[in-house]
Chain A
Amino acid sequence: MEKKYLSSLILLLIIYSSIYSVQGQNLYLGITHDFNMGPNYEFSTFAQAPLIWNENSNQTLYLNITINSLPDNISSIEVNAITYVIYGTDTDEDGVQLAFSSDTPQQSINTIGEEIQLEQIFIPTTLADTFFINITILARTKGNVTEGENNPYSFRFPQQETIFIDRENNLVPLINLYGFPPSSFFAKWIPIYLSAIFIMAIPSMITGVSILRDRRKLKNIGGNENE
């Protein structure tokens, strides 16, 4: 290796490492979902949160709700409750509901284009390494005359991907010997092993017996091997 290329390689290494370094604070903008509460009556929402969560700190999810269109007889939309349900996507936790939190903001939106932003703080769960959140919004229309129905609208954040929890203290030891097998295993296995060893040792046993027999014959006859 030539020494003059070494500095360029070190520079490349630094650039590469900065691309792949995990900072975890870049917010990911979720897809905007439009929900139709009635004719000519629509609101849209999107969520924002980082896709990689650090294990040791709390994370914040930002939820934006806007009204797209509002008919005349409806004056405002009131957001009553928002529930956040975390579903795991590890193979063991696939589809399992891991955590549940809710928020009751009781805020209303009156005009088109008005935007409210809600925050929800999450503590990273220990049950799974990857998950997604199902956000359900319970919104109610308020009209001049009557109060409308509550309708839940739910969507998944992030739409296609999953959120990943970056655990730092995940040291798996390189060599982990768990100890000796239990005696119940040996009780079944030792007979198989010993019979195989016995079969393989048949020539040695015959050799030993033959040597003993020759010695005994020599002792009896007194050194004379003639028959």
Chain B
Amino acid sequence: MSEISIQIRRVTEKVRQYFEVFGFIPHPQMSRGRSSIRGKRRLGFDEIECVVAETARGTSIGFYAINSFQALIYGVPYLLALSLLLLNQIEGVSKYITGEKALLSINWLKLLLGTSEVSFSLVLILLVLAVLPFILEFYHQRIRLSNLKSRFSFFTREAIWETREAPPALLALQAARSVIMHGWMLAIIYFGVFSSQTDSITELTSLYQTNNADLYYAISDAFSLTIGLIIGLLSANKAISMRKEQSRFDKRSRIIGNLIERRIDPILFGVSSASYTIIIFGFFISATFMGDVPIMLGFQMMFFALFGAVLAGLIHQEGMLWTSMSYAIFIFFSSLVFIFRTGEQPAYAFIIILQLFFIPIPFILQLSSNFGKILKKYKITSVSWLFESIPIFSLISIFDLNRKKEISKKRYLESLDQEILIDDIEPRIQIGKEILLDKNSPAHKLVLHYYELILSYTASFDEDKFIYIPNATQLNKWWCDTTKQTVETTQNEFVDFTDQILWDPSFLPPQKEIMNYEKIGEMMVLAIK
């Protein structure tokens, strides 16, 4: 391990730091002459591989993007719904989905998609919604790659690039993904009353002295108003957060200007991103749930989405609690609008009570913002999980991170079997100490831990600094800053003990003491991995 040159170590450490800042998990693999760092996104499955090699002209870096099709996981619900729709056309299977033997006596297609007929626009919009996240992730990964490359342009073989800017439409559509799913779930709750096979609506319509068609129109009316407001609010909020996150890597996304411009810019950006979202969602809803109502309700939804977006831009800085409160207030507001229509159309009385059940939803969303603190422990700071109904990538990332940590620790422990090459050690060391030569002895491992710590310390500084070998206090302080843990008293003596073993010819401690310090050294090294 000590055969790896300091330059490769230093550049690898720098790339590792940038990967951490950009939100990737670095897995460096170093060998003599070259190292490769695989940066896997903490929240997602895209990878960037960086290869650092020593050439005759110096150190060279190459960045390569490794995209995978795993972003299609976002489209699985839409593909499932599409497959259900197509399965329903087969005679033998349709009776289990929408026919007599339907499971739980629910018409599943009417529950999930609002219609059972296969139409061109329905198939088209489901396919678009399934494939769109993947295309956006792919495009965003290329932009991240070019941003990373530009930081290392003086190292790389090619000239400096003109880095690409993430267009606002990209951020808006990425924000739209989870909000459209949220809107779909709310649509299922709203229109779920029509999905039962048994005759549960007759009692409802007779109680409210209305009929099925009027009830359907009233529900569509309330849905377009309430969901328009909510989607505007959530999509604008998320788009502004994503632009803030992007501005950490790209100064062009930062909001500049005087105080008024800095307050108005998020509002305008929120409105534009909400309009992208509501157009796609409007297509989806008019092809599925609100297919039989006049198109004016779709325009009503778009109109109210702009209101919600303006409010989101105004209150974005206050945090998640204000967003949840405005969500709940929107529900109250739309109930208030319909309370005055109950005289002429009694179905609105039912709508008001239905909408009262939606009040817990914003507070559940607000509780789940604490999920962000758990993710911060794993150093995931991106906001693409916000408002997600099932944060798939976050959950998989958490399980994966623990697993990867174990693997890197195991890899280090296996590498302890290497022999210390005698040529690399200073001849002043008393090589006569047998305990150092036997690679199974604890003293051997102790020295390897020591070297790993010192080399990591050295690599963490910039090139132009002249670095001394650290003494015990400096090393422990660096260790505390890196791992954010406190040092115990025995750790303070680790460096002195190892120094004594290496340089003091007459120091021959008992085996048990060496094993204790070896354990401490192993703990220290594994903590910085």
Q: Is A38 in the interface zone, CB < 8 Å from B?
A: no
CB distance from B391 to the nearest CB of A (A): 6
Which of B182, B195, B349, B391 meets A178, CB within 8 Å? B349
Q: Are B200's CB and A184's CB within 8 A?
A: yes
A176-B361 CB under 8 A given contacts A182-B207, A204-B370: no
Complex-state Cα separation, A196 to B360, whole angstroms: 12
Q: Is B86 in the interface zone, CB < 8 Å from A?
A: no
Q: Are A207's CB and B207's CB within 8 A?
A: no
Q: Is B32 in the interface zone, CB < 8 Å from A?
A: no
Q: Are B203's CB and A210's CB within 8 A?
A: no
Mark each residue of chain A from 65 to 109: 1 if its CB lies under 8 Å from any CB of chain B, else 0.
Answer: 000000000000000000000000000000000000000000000
Q: Are B371's CB and A207's CB within 8 A?
A: yes
Interface residues in B, total, Cβ within 8 A: 53
Of the 9-residue stretches B139-147, B274-282, B339-347, which lies at the interface with chain A?
Answer: B339-347
Please name the residue on chain A nearest to B391 by beta carbon. Answer: A203
Of the 9-residue stretches A116-124, A137-145, A167-175, which lies at the interface with chain B?
Answer: A167-175
A187-B200 CB under 8 A given contacts A172-B344, A176-B346, A204-B368: yes
Q: Are B371's CB and A200's CB within 8 A?
A: no
Q: Are A184's CB and B367's CB within 8 A?
A: no
Q: Is A1 in the interface zone, CB < 8 Å from B?
A: no
Which range contains the number of A residues in contact with the other chain? 20 to 34
Q: Which residues of A contact B353 (CB under 8 A)?
A: 180-181
- Name B327-363 residues within 8 Å CB distance of A: 339-340, 342-344, 346, 349-350, 352-354, 357, 360-361
Q: Are B193's CB and A199's CB within 8 A?
A: no
Q: Are A185's CB and B361's CB within 8 A?
A: no
Q: Are B343's CB and A172's CB within 8 A?
A: yes
Q: Which residues of B contact A197 (CB under 8 A)?
A: 360-361, 364
Complex-state Cα separation, A7 to B395, whole angstroms: 74
Q: Are B368's CB and A185's CB within 8 A?
A: no
CB distance from B159 to the nearest CB of A (A): 45
Q: Is B528 in the interface zone, CB < 8 Å from A?
A: no
CB distance from B439 to the nearest CB of A (A): 26
Which residues on A are within 8 Å of B, measured CB to CB?
A: 172-182, 184-185, 187-189, 192-193, 196-197, 199-204, 206-207, 210, 225-227
Q: Top 10 A-B pairs ranked by shortest CB distance?
A: A203-B368, A203-B371, A204-B367, A192-B192, A188-B196, A204-B368, A207-B370, A182-B203, A177-B349, A184-B200
